[in-house]
Amino acid sequence: MKISIIGTGYIGSVTGACFAEMGHQIIFVGRDTKKLDLIKSGKSPIFEPGLDQLLLKNQERITTTTDIADAVRNTEITFIGVGTPPREDGSSDLSQIETVSHSIGKALRSDSKYHTIVAKSTVLPGTIEDLIIPILEKESGKKAFIDFGVASNPEFLKEGTAIEDFFKTDRVVIGAQDQKSRDLLEKLYKPLNVPIFKTTLRTSEMIKFASNAFLATKISFANEIGNLCKELGIDSYSVFEGVGLDTRINPKFFRTGIGFGGSCFPKDVCALIAHAKSKGITTKVLNSVMEINDDQPKRMIALLKKHINPKNRTIGVLGLAFKPDTDDIRKARAIPIINMLLKAGARVKVYDPVAMDNFRQQFPDLHYTSSASEVLTADAVLIVTEWKEFENLDYHGKLVIDGRRVEKARNEAAIYEGVCW
């Protein structure tokens, strides 16, 4: 199949590389020629384990362009993978979706074949029908589902294990109204041999939000119980190991700590809350999910202050990325934690194996060290991301506040506090 991928960020680049690996011809469409040049030369524009190798291996099947029209005309299916960042009030900023829809619509005008446009970006229920289709129809002068197809195919992969998640996903969700687009997507994903769930456009859009909201709820629920466990002298890690053994519950995304960050959970839960509010619906559970999540970093600083006044002291931060194996710092827990440390008058020393360049753009004045062990020379150390290499440090004699349960630190540190254990 000939496939266009619009957007070369975390989702676009992984999706395109994985489709290429499946034997398809891919045209990546981006705005940044430097990123496109990287892709063209078989290098990933983002840090994602295995992505470089996949792009390099499939170079022959990959081309790049900045011209959406060119890509649409030369392919039969276009995946929209642009960003849907949060606005100040938590609602979804759909301007990137709007912009590319205008360009795709214009391209469709002179495209004589049946082309299918797929929203892979996370968009609120109704976005395809109420925003994307009207733009496509207006710009193309054509009718959706008659002259061109439109579908929803939300993505569920996790940064850090994105490629494995793509090929071994629990399910593929296809939202479609026209048979041609449904069949095309089914044919595309069939070789993965995973469950394919076919539904309507709106239901598919909602499945993505409901999934993220539920996983975020699991984490905040664990943290609420975890905070109580700490107070009662109970190890919340053991509690959730035990609870997770119940197959109705499942152990995944059920660990206590400083909460969730990243480009998806906070953004998508807030967008759902804002969307519900605009429809007059109050989201009591989701409001609490965000409230608990916002409080967990504050607990970390409160625990630190129990042992040391951070004013004019050097506090080390291990980990800046929102999770291990990514350089993504969007809504990372390190951001509120470091802001609180700076506000308290601390000197902040940080280390992350891959996310320091991204973090430096937001926090240029921190002390960025060249190794994790250098961070351990600080007066106290906060473990914010559970990178594997932090399991091999020597924590003897250190004051450690742990947000992610690093067992070696727990066993060795002179003074050790876990956020929920």
225 to 284, contacts with ligand NAD by CB under 6 A? 263-264
Considering only CA atoms, which of 72, 57, 53 is closest in space to residue 2? Answer: 72
Please tell me whether residue 11 binds ligand NAD under the rule CB under 6 A: yes
Amino acid at 146: I
Q: How far is CA 13 from CA 30, 179, 310, 359, 368, in A?
A: 10, 28, 41, 21, 29
Q: How far is the CB of 115 from ligand NAD (least distance, A)?
A: 17
CA–CA separation, 4 vs 116, rounded Å? 10
Considering only CA atoms, which of 145, 213, 157 is closest in space to residue 184? Answer: 145
Position closest to ligand NAD via CB: 9
Q: What is the Cα 173 distance to its own chain's centre?
A: 18
Considering only CA atoms, which of 45, 49, 51 is closest in space to residue 31? Answer: 45
Q: Give the relative orientation of helices 284-307 and 334-343 as an angle to the nearest 10 degrees.
A: 50
126 to 165, contacts with ligand NAD by CB under 6 A? 155, 157, 159
Q: How far is the CB of 263 from ligand NAD (least distance, A)?
A: 5
Please tell me whether residue 63 binds ligand NAD under the rule CB under 6 A: no
With CB under 6 A as the rule, give the number of residues binding ligand NAD: 25
Are the CB atoms for 25 and 48 separated by under 8 Å? no
Q: What residues act catalytically?
A: 264
Are the CB atoms for 229 and 299 separated by under 8 Å? no
The binder of ligand NAD chosen from 38, 55, 71, 100 (CB under 6 A): 100
238-241 contacts at long range (C-beta below 8 A, 24 or more positions apart): none
Please tell me whether residue 30 binds ligand NAD under the rule CB under 6 A: yes
Q: Who's near 331: CB < 8 A, 6+ residues apart?
A: 261, 262, 263, 265, 266, 267, 322
Residues in a beta bridge with 368: 350
Please tell me whether residue 84 binds ligand NAD under the rule CB under 6 A: yes
Considering only CA atoms, which of 363, 354, 262 is closest in space to residue 10? Answer: 262
Structure tokens at 140: 């193309």
- When the beta carbons of 116 and 122 are compared against ligand NAD, the nearer one is 122
The binder of ligand NAD chosen from 44, 96, 217, 369 (CB under 6 A): 96
- When the beta carbons of 83 and 319 are compared against ligand NAD, the nearer one is 83
- When the beta carbons of 264 and 346 are compared against ligand NAD, the nearer one is 264
Choices 49-57, 81-89, 168-176, 400-408 (CB under 6 A): range interacting with ligand NAD: 81-89
Are the CB atoms for 408 and 373 separated by under 8 Å? no
Neighbours of 318 (CB within 10 A): 29
Structure tokens at 374: 């250098």
Please tell me whether residue 206 binds ligand NAD under the rule CB under 6 A: no
Q: How far is the CB of 209 from ligand NAD (least distance, A)?
A: 10
Q: How far is the CB of 95 from ligand NAD (least distance, A)?
A: 9
Q: How far is the CB of 77 from ligand NAD (least distance, A)?
A: 16
Choices 78-86, 140-148, 233-241, 406-414 (CB under 6 A): range interacting with ligand NAD: 78-86
The binder of ligand NAD chosen from 16, 81, 105, 257 (CB under 6 A): 81
Choices 5-13, 127-135, 350-358, 408-416 (CB under 6 A): range interacting with ligand NAD: 5-13
Choices 75-83, 124-132, 352-360, 412-420 (CB under 6 A): range interacting with ligand NAD: 75-83
Q: Which chain residues interact with ligand NAD by CB under 6 A?
A: 6-12, 29-32, 81-84, 96, 99-100, 121-122, 155, 157, 159, 263-264
